[in-house]
Amino acid sequence: MSELGRTLAPPATKGHVSVARLSQHWYVACQSQELGSHPIARTIIGTPLVLFRDDKRQAGALLDRCPHRNVPLSLGRVSRAGHLECAYHGWQFDGGGTCRLVPGLIEESSRERRAPAFRVRERDGLVWVYATPDVEPRSEPFQLPLSNARGYVTVQRRVQAEATLHATVENALDVPHTAFLHRGLFRTTKTEAEKNVITAIVRRSADRVEAEYLGEPLPTGAVVRLLSPSGGTVQHWDRFILPSVAQVEYRLGTENHFLVTALCTPETDFVTRLYAVVSFRLRVPAALVKPLIEPLALRIFNQDAAILKRQSDTIREFGGEQFMSTEIDVLGPDIWRLLKHAERGDPQPEELVAERRVTLRV
């Protein structure tokens, strides 16, 4: 962890909380459309950042603290020269963090004045920031699959959860809660006798863990009835990819393909922002389904956000976590192991390291 991370993000509780701070990675800081001609403030792993566009519309990201007297640079504006101008005494900074102007200063010394700068990449309508300043990243941001694929429609949404990255990602990839928390919307509640026994093949490798569900019956909720009225088979994968990507993939019959990629940004230990990119190809025209699916998806997400907040509150109230997992918490413990290893910088073998089978009733 960087010196910066340590000073700005103290542990929230005394007991154990599943928080891993992976600062040597890329995270989405904002959507391209959010970053106009005014600077905006964002937080990544407890570090306040300011984002702005220069005169060439190139996005830049600096630590949100003016090196002169430490006011937030996000209070400033973009100068005509395309530099970020501090609101207090008007120092101007370029996207690399170098101070290009100190208004009123005549005698220019050779001393370099600068603000820590973060590497930025803008693609797929998203602005990515490398979470450690003033270093050359050893990786590139996550490549979104299908975002330009033929026959697919892609929708982007931004939501926020008051929960750790681990809890947020686990929730996004957790099957057993759907019948209860989202009763009637996605999966319906059945008696144990009515349930089907299905198998999940869990594959874990250096940077990811994936569960492939075999023999899953078509869920009976409203969302699915719309898409596959005649039934059909279900193929379903849930994936976590380091540092913070939660991906759910569904194929219903031969015609419907859904890929939901949640790019998660840990803002602080207990606040995670999700940039959800949904790419799909459907039996019915997308324009017909979108207005019906969107409110349902939002309701599902609001239920998740509400329960995650209650989970966080309880963990804080009790001063830490005490989790009791079973085998059907299929991915949560693996996600935590991956996050922990990555935080420690443990060397990871490149090939497939483990495969196991879990049976469960759904």
Look up residue 310 and give its amino acid.
R
Q: Are 270 and 163 in contact (CB under 8 A)?
A: yes
- Judged by beta carbon distances under 5 to 8 A according to partner kind, the member of ligand FES, Fe ion, none in contact with residue 267 is none
- Judged by beta carbon distances under 5 to 8 A according to partner kind, the member of Fe ion, ligand FES, none in contact with residue 5 is none
CB of 305 to Fe ion, least distance (A): 9
If you count DSSP H runs as helices and E runs as strands, how many of each does the chain have, helices first?
Answer: 6, 19
- Judged by beta carbon distances under 5 to 8 A according to partner kind, the member of Fe ion, ligand FES, none in contact with residue 304 is Fe ion
Give contact residues for ligand FES (rule: CB under 6 A).
Answer: 66, 68-69, 71, 86, 88-91
Q: Which is nearer to ligand FES, 90 or 333 (CB)?
A: 90
CB atoms within 10 A of CB 20: 22
Q: Which is nearer to ligand FES, 77 or 316 (CB)?
A: 77
- Judged by beta carbon distances under 5 to 8 A according to partner kind, the member of Fe ion, ligand FES, none in contact with residue 89 is ligand FES
Give the C-alpha separation, 258 to 279, whole Å. 6
Q: Are 282 and 289 in contact (CB under 8 A)?
A: yes
Question: Cα angle at 100 between 96 and 102, to 5 degrees?
Answer: 135
**Binding range to Fe ion, per CB under 5 A, among 202-210, 233-241, 269-277, 297-305:** 297-305
Q: Which of residues 304-343 bind Fe ion (CB under 5 A)?
A: 304
Query: Bridge partners of 27?
Result: 129
Which secondary structure element, helix H or strand E, spans residue 54, and what is its range?
none
CB of 84 to ligand FES, least distance (A): 10
Q: Which residue is nearest to Fe ion (CB)?
A: 304
CB of 59 to ligand FES, least distance (A): 21
3-class state of residue 2 by DSSP:
coil
Q: Which is nearer to Fe ion, 284 or 300 (CB)?
A: 300
Which secondary structure element, helix H or strand E, spans residue 155, and what is its range?
strand 153-161
